[in-house]
Amino acid sequence: MVQSIVPPYLLARIASADSERFPAASAAARRTLRLDAPRRSARLTLSIDGDTLVAELSDAPDREIADAGGRERLPGRVVRREGGPATGDLAADEAYEGLGATFDLYSEVYGRNSIDGAGLPLRATVHYGELYDNAFWDGERMVFGDGDGEVFQRFTRSLSVIGHELTHGVTQFSSGLAYQGQSGALNESISDVFGALVEQHAATQTSAEASWLIGEGLFTPEVQGRALRSMRHPGTAYDDDVLGRDPQPDHLDGYVETTDDNGGVHLNSGIPNRAFVLVADALGGHAWERAGLIWYDTLTGSLAPDVDFAGFAAATARAAAARYGGASAEVDAVRAGWEGVGVTIDGGRA
């Protein structure tokens, strides 16, 4: 299952808009939806050369950036490898730096060697497709489009997007959360959480200083919006005549029951997103430390693939108690954070 940063409901809105503001964007969105459709149902697995799996740990990332040259074929022509000089191509160099920043967060803070924990090389392809309005993790590599130039700019501009997509790989290699319904919304939320933490870690921002925006800088100045999503205030990231208003709920009372987008995984992720920010704000300081450690311990612990919000919330409380003690401020913050979005800790599929 390919997991991409721009939700299909937003692309559909752009594609169907009867407006003269974004003619190229409308065509690009329709094309992107057509390209994404077969990947959403594909089951992709990793392949291993040879008869023996050998995991070699290292203290540094192993990056490789390829250029698709506007075609829809992967991986494309390799333009930069680990340790190589900058190419002068903004997209290629931003991808290279973003992969490194994501590796650094997981390595330095959580002791994880690459996204699989065993030194997996980090691969990315830029300039994918013609005016392709998305970025995605396909189970093996990151893929970035250049955007249409009217609604979206190049997708390598946002470090939170790079961290988000690579975290889908971390989830793939750890809990394997099913990409459907509440577990799918948690899958998306976890990618938003660590995508934001990659950005904050690189900028050494505290929770209070951070914007908590996912995809800030992706929209062109023509769009009335700041980002794809706001974790602190879900439902406020954009409000535009063509794109409409950000539809994310910020509380369980607003949970959207739908069959679209794998049961609303991009919509309903706003609920656990806000819960995390409430926890991070309550604990203060750098969110990748205590709040991030609790979420990381939960993600890499024993979760059922179909865990629901309540079950995940209970798992975060157990993780906080295991790391900091049952009567700790961390446990209190976790419980209060989930209560703040209407999710009951006790009960649910853990």
* Catalytic pick among 164, 168, 201, 266: 266
Count Cβ atoms within 10 A of the Cβ of residue 350 and give its class: 0-12 exposed, 13-18 middle, 19 or more buried.
Answer: middle
Q: Would residue 286 show up in a list of annotated catalytic residues for this protein?
A: no
Active site residue 266: yes
Q: Are 330 and 338 in contact (CB under 8 A)?
A: no
The two structure tokens encoding residue 272: 């656990």
Residue 24, token pair as written in the block: 């190229």
Q: What is the DSSP string of 91-144?
A: HHHHHHHHHHHHHHIIIIIH---STTSS-PPEEEEES-TTT---EEE-SS-EEE
Q: Which of 94, 150, 165, 216 is catalytic?
A: 165
Q: HEC profile for 217-275?
A: CCECCCCCECCCEECCCCCCCEEECCCEECCCCCCHHHCCCCCCHHHHHHHHCHHHHHH
**Catalytic sites, residue numbers:** 165, 266
